[in-house]
Chains A and B, each alone.
Chain A
């Protein structure tokens, strides 16, 4: 960056940063531009984490290049418009944000002037359980709950608390011991990493029905209690109902980062190899199919480990880091965008926020409702490998109202087939292995730093990305 552009940038961001002091605690305010020496940094991956890290480093006056393998930036945060009518859109990737819970993310929305809208996708949820649909009122009715098989304590609890909060009945007594959301160890539960959380529920007196609902036979008790404690420490419920999305689609934030970064973001640049030593990094990549090489002082890897494994890194990582990169696991799914000609569910006086009991189509909800048209977008999530036509058939067959869903067309993004960003959110660490993943997953390796949805404590993708990107940028800035 030239000194002139650096000055301009500092001036611009100083203005942009004015509003940030209104947001949340001090830790989530925007830092002043760094007075340290300008460093050269390559950011590998132009998803939300890579763009955020690039933006944060640029803001501090460093010389940044973001290399993205595909022809678009944003990665898994992908808002689709192609083929949809009336300016409608659908979020193929990221779903929603919470407040509180996404403090770093909200700070960037405020800083970059990106608007968030309330997203009532979890209100008045209809749940299909064993083939039958239940409203929230039904799931707080004592006779319904008793008939479903819950025991008396559970029926008492669920008649006063939401259905999704059953887990709190059993894990609440354990959570107060956690005081630092980034520290799961040393609070008295270290020996519970090999204990299934289902055993904690059983110990608390959970019924067979509750155990079936809560699962947890393969989830470490230490991990799950820590996860619940993070939510508690952030002031977030187990299933936040008041959620938000971005006006115009969730890709608006990565796009805002990319706009600030300008030509520092280079697309169609798949990285082939990374060499690193105590002095810096050297990256071999292709640009428009031609071999290129770039050297820098530091590298932020914002490519998810399953894709990062394909890049040769020399010298290799420590066994501890390699274990994390080889074993961190993500989920993946398919997002369906149903373009409908009307709000057909209103005739039936039911909610369109539905959780289906189907392996093909798991849930549907309305989105993009700020667009001025009679048409509506209903988003759906389901399994990879299913055709959109089959998902539409499942939707029509399982929809609980009398009116036929007015689906004009369905388009989808099957993330399991994506060549660059097939991964969504990190899943639970395996039983008995938390100490192998944490905090190793966050640690830099020499001059390579790590950011992305897997590299923070909670697996909520967009906030984990912005938090980890900020952390990596901050550490490099201060190095």
Chain B
């Protein structure tokens, strides 16, 4: 009996170690905005360089070019004053999940906020359809089933049959949200050059930079997003 229990314990230990070996957790990527530095001040209309570092235990680091450039995003949000920052960040949390869905489904490979890529810009979509529950329903259908011939005759949007309706609606909401917000921009890549806006309307005093990277998880499962925020003062 003792021998049997010892053998059973050994089997359990091996099984548990195997479990821990094959079910390791995916770490959250570490995202840092190196340039411009947090709380620095820049001039309206100037050209600034940005640089973001990404380090992920599973995917690698941007230092060694192990991170796909098109998977690193830098969101720019112009805000009227510093006191709007916390409110905005709170509000933005509600769209975090939809932004992750947008990355997972490769939406931003063919769409951008203000320019036409292979697909129409989010601004053109928002202008055409407006912001309404019926719009989200209609757009979610197009996202799931695919679309062709609405924005031109030559390019088609592939269907996304694996998306559940709720997620497709969330994506549609974010498309319209991005499309209607004239104080937001989105860049890709770990570094680049930004042409800052001129303060024509005297309505932006703070530029909030949010860098993010969605990792590849363990064998594409349990993907996690890392974020970093920098607050830049405009003068």
A359-B146, A384-B109, A385-B105 as given contacts; A219 in contact with B158, CB under 8 Å? no
A180 to B195 alpha-carbon distance, docked (Å) = 41
Does A428 have its Cβ within 8 Å of any Cβ on chain B? Answer: yes
Do A331 and B193 touch (CB < 8 A)?
no
A309 within 8 A of B: yes
Instruction: Report the minimal beta-carbon distance from B2 to chain A, rounded to whole angstroms.
Output: 51
Contact A417 B68 (CB under 8 A): yes
- What per-residue 1/0 map shows which CB atoms of A422-435 lie under 8 Å from chain B? 11000110100000
Tell me which of A215, A314, A386, A428 contacts B158 (CB under 8 A): A386
Asked whether B115 lies within 8 Å of A309 as measured between CB atoms, the reply is yes
Question: Of all chain B residues, which has the CB nearest A386?
Answer: B158
The answer for the CA separation of A223 and B150 in the assembled complex, in Å, is 18
What 0/1 pattern do residues 171 to 202 of B give for CB contact below 8 A with A?
00000000000000001110011010000000
**Residues in chain B near residue A418, CB distance under 8 A:** 70
Contacts of B118 in A (CB 8 A): 329-332, 384, 416, 422-423
CB neighbors of A among B87-140 (8 A): 105-106, 109-110, 115-118
Q: Which has the most chain A C-beta neighbours within 10 Å: B118, B154, B187, B193?
A: B118
CA distance A419 to B192 in the complex (A): 13
Q: List 17 A-B contacts (CB under 8 A).
A: A219-B153, A272-B49, A273-B193, A310-B189, A312-B47, A329-B116, A329-B117, A329-B152, A331-B118, A332-B155, A360-B158, A383-B156, A384-B109, A386-B158, A417-B106, A419-B189, A423-B118
Please name all residues of chain A whose beta carbon is closer than 8 Å to the beta carbon of B158 when the two chains form the complex. 359-360, 383-386
Residues of B contacting A417 with CB < 8 Å?
68, 70, 106, 109
Chain B interface category by residue count: 20 to 34
A273, A306, A416: which has the most chain B beta carbons within 10 Å? A416
Asked if A416 and B109 sit within 8 Å, CB to CB, the answer is yes
Question: If A332-B118, A416-B106, A417-B68 touch, does A359 touch B159 (CB 8 Å cutoff)?
Answer: yes
Indicate the member of A217, A309, A312 with the most B CB atoms within 10 Å.
A312
The CA-CA distance from A17 to B152 in the complex, in Å, is 43
A359 proximity list for chain B (CB < 8 A) = 146, 156, 158-159
Determine how close the nearest CB of chain B comes to the CB of A287; give it in whole angstroms. 14
Assembly CA distance A332 to B150 (angstroms): 17
- C-alpha spacing A330/B47, complex, angstroms: 28
| B residues near A18, Cβ cutoff 8 Å | none
Query: Which residues of chain B are within 8 angstroms of A427 by Cβ–Cβ distance?
Result: 152, 154-155
Q: Take A416-B110, A417-B106 as given contacts and tell me if A430 and B117 are in contact as well, using a CB distance cutoff of 8 Å.
A: no
Interface residues of A (CB under 8 A from B): 215-219, 272-273, 306, 309-312, 314, 326-332, 359-360, 383-386, 414, 416-419, 422-423, 427-428, 430
- A211 CB → nearest B CB, Å: 11
Choose among A218, A326, A360 the residue that contacts B153 (Cβ–Cβ < 8 A). A218
Q: Determine whether the beta carbon of B153 is less than 8 Å from that of A217.
A: yes
- Tell me the minimal C-beta distance from A199 to chain B in angstroms: 14
Going nearest first, the 4 A-B pairs with the smallest beta carbon separation are A383-B158, A416-B109, A332-B118, A385-B106
CB contact between A419 and one of B70, B110, B159, B187 (< 8 Å): that residue: B70
In chain B, what residue has the closest Cβ to A273? B193
Contact indicator B152/A430 (Cβ below 8 Å)? yes
| Shortest distance from the beta carbon of B142 to any chain A beta carbon, whole Å | 12
Known A312-B195, A419-B69: A215·B117 in contact at CB below 8 Å: no
Q: Which residues of A contact B109 (CB under 8 A)?
A: 332, 384-385, 414, 416-417, 422
- Residues of chain A lying within 8 A (CB to CB) of residue B70: 417-419
How far does the Cβ of A46 sit from chain B's closest Cβ, in whole Å?
A: 17
A272 to B116, CA, bound (A): 22
Inside 8 A of B116's CB, which chain A residues have their CB? Answer: 327-329
Once A312-B193, A383-B158, A428-B154 are accepted as A-B contacts, the answer to whether A273 and B47 lie under 8 Å apart by CB is yes
> Is A384 within 8 A of B152, CB to CB?
no
User: Using a CB-CB cutoff of 8 Å, which residues 61-97 of chain B contact chain A?
Assistant: 68-70
- B156 near A428: Cβ-Cβ < 8 Å: no
CB-CB under 8 A from B49, the residues of chain A are 272
